[in-house]
Amino acid sequence: MASSTTTPGPRAAAAAFDKASDVYERMTGGCTREVANILLTLDPKVDSLSVILDNACGPGIVTEEILERFPDADGAKPKISAADLAPSMVSNFTAKAKRRGWIAKGHQDNPLTVEIMDAEDLTYTDGTFTHSYTNLGFPFFPHPEKAAEQVYRTLRPGGTAFISTWKTLGYMRPLHDAQRAVRPNDALWEPPMPKDWYRQEKLIQVLVSAGFERDRIQVLTKSMAYRGKDLDDLLDIIETGFMGMVTNGWSEEEKEQWVKALPNALTEQEKETASIKMTAWIAVAKK
């Protein structure tokens, strides 16, 4: 039936992120960085005395945005521990951090450490961090309750966790419309994100199960854009990011038809702005 969907599991998501480390930010249309910037506007804001976890850090977008706020080479900076399970993400981010001078050989006062680490089994000691950021990672963890327990455990009393998840993935509509145009009877492709994560109740339930008190959790709704430099760039981002997954097993002719169907699947406003609206849930949870 055309209304049915196929959804890969969380382990498939981890493998996909590892393979996509070089092109991750382009593949996400810049919206991951936009969410990161929103997180950093929320109170309590980071200052030079903060001790921060960038959890499931991917290519280090949250860390980069934090350190950009402390540009003075000799000035005091917050201490950041960044961790991700994908080796290629950690390798690429470490190389970038060394180029930017955030990690310098022989320096004991580096503001940043980057490690391969499972979000469900963090090795940091209890009560380490004043701020804990997990940007769009929780829906892709195999056992999110374990990851939330680790966030809670490693926060200091009075510390704050900032966790973002997706409420709506705006690009799913054009992806599905283009798929229907070519294979109307196929199950619709879905990302490796369990559907209950689109509801804020799931985010709240996971945090409460980890030990956060419900009245100390605030959930916000924020909008951002999945965008390209222009329409051609947006279409290229969609094609590059999704064709291999959406059209897996299709003939070359069908793949070409899917690419040709994408522009017609966008609204006129999306074409004019070269952007697609996305919406995120953001939880601010105090320990």
Q: What is the CATH number of the domain that holds 105?
A: 3.40.50.150
| 3 in a structural domain | no
Mean pLDDT is lowest, of 4-13, 65-74, 97-106, 192-201, for 4-13
| 182 in a structural domain | no
234-266 burial, b for 16+ CB within 10 Å, e for fewer?
Answer: bbbbbbebbbeebbeebeeeebebbbebbbebb
**DSSP 8-state class, residue 45:** P
Q: Which of 40, 88, 44, 78 minimizes the C-alpha distance to 61?
A: 40
| 256 in a structural domain | no
| 97 in a structural domain | yes
pLDDT score of 255 more than 70: yes
DSSP character string of 120-181: TS--SPTT-EEEEEEES-GGG-SSHHHHHHHHHHHEEEEEEEEEEEEEE-TTHHHHHHHHHH
Query: What local confidence, expressed as pLDDT, does residue 105 receive?
Result: 58
Q: Which of 235, 245, 237, 199 minimizes the C-alpha distance to 219?
A: 199
Q: What pTM did the predictor assign?
A: 0.90
Backbone angles phi, psi at 259, to 5 degrees: -60, -40
Q: Which of the four pLDDT bands, split at 50, 70 and 90, describes residue 4?
A: very low
Neighbours of 76 (CB within 10 A): 11
pLDDT score of 18 more than 60: no
Per-chain mean pLDDT for the chain: 91
CA–CA separation, 115 and 8 (whole Å):
27
- 88: burial class by Cβ within 10 Å (0-12, 13-18, 19+)? middle
State the angle between helix axes of 10-19 and 87-99 in degrees (0 to 180), rounded to the nearest 10: 40
Q: What is the rounded average pLDDT of the residues 222-235? A: 97
CA–CA separation, 202 and 50 (whole Å):
29
- Please report how many Cα atoms fall inside a 13 Å half-sphere around the Cα of residue 179, on the Cβ side: 27
| 107 in a structural domain | yes
Q: What is the rounded average pLDDT of the residues 34-52? A: 97
Helices (H), the chain: 10-19, 24-27, 31-39, 61-68, 87-99, 144-154, 172-182, 200-210, 231-246, 252-265, 268-273
Contacts (Cβ under 8 Å, ≥6 apart) of 100: 64, 67
Beta bridge partners of 5: 188
Q: Which of 10, 4, 25 minimizes the C-alpha distance to 227?
A: 25
CA–CA separation, 61 and 24 (whole Å):
10
Q: Total structural domains in the chain?
A: 1
Which range marks the domain in which residue 206 is found? Answer: 8-168+191-228+279-286
Q: Which of the four pLDDT bands, split at 50, 70 and 90, describes residue 25?
A: confident
| 147 in a structural domain | yes
Query: What local confidence, expressed as pLDDT, does residue 107 receive?
Result: 53
Both tokens assigned to 80: 């950041």
CA–CA separation, 39 and 42 (whole Å):
6
- Please report how many Cα atoms fall inside a 13 Å half-sphere around the Cα of residue 137, on the Cβ side: 31
| 35 in a structural domain | yes
Query: What local confidence, expressed as pLDDT, does residue 10 receive?
Result: 44
pLDDT score of 23 more than 80: no
Query: What local confidence, expressed as pLDDT, does residue 200 receive?
Result: 96
Give the CA dihedral 76, 82, 87, 89, nearest 10 degrees. Answer: -70
Tell me the pLDDT tens digit for each residue of 120-162. Answer: 999 999 999 999 999 999 999 999 999 999 999 999 999 999 9
Tell me the pLDDT tens digit for each residue of 63-79. Answer: 999 999 998 877 889 99
Q: Which residue has the higher pLDDT, 49 or 101?
A: 49
| 253 in a structural domain | no
Contact call for residues 122 and 83 (beta carbons, < 8 A): yes
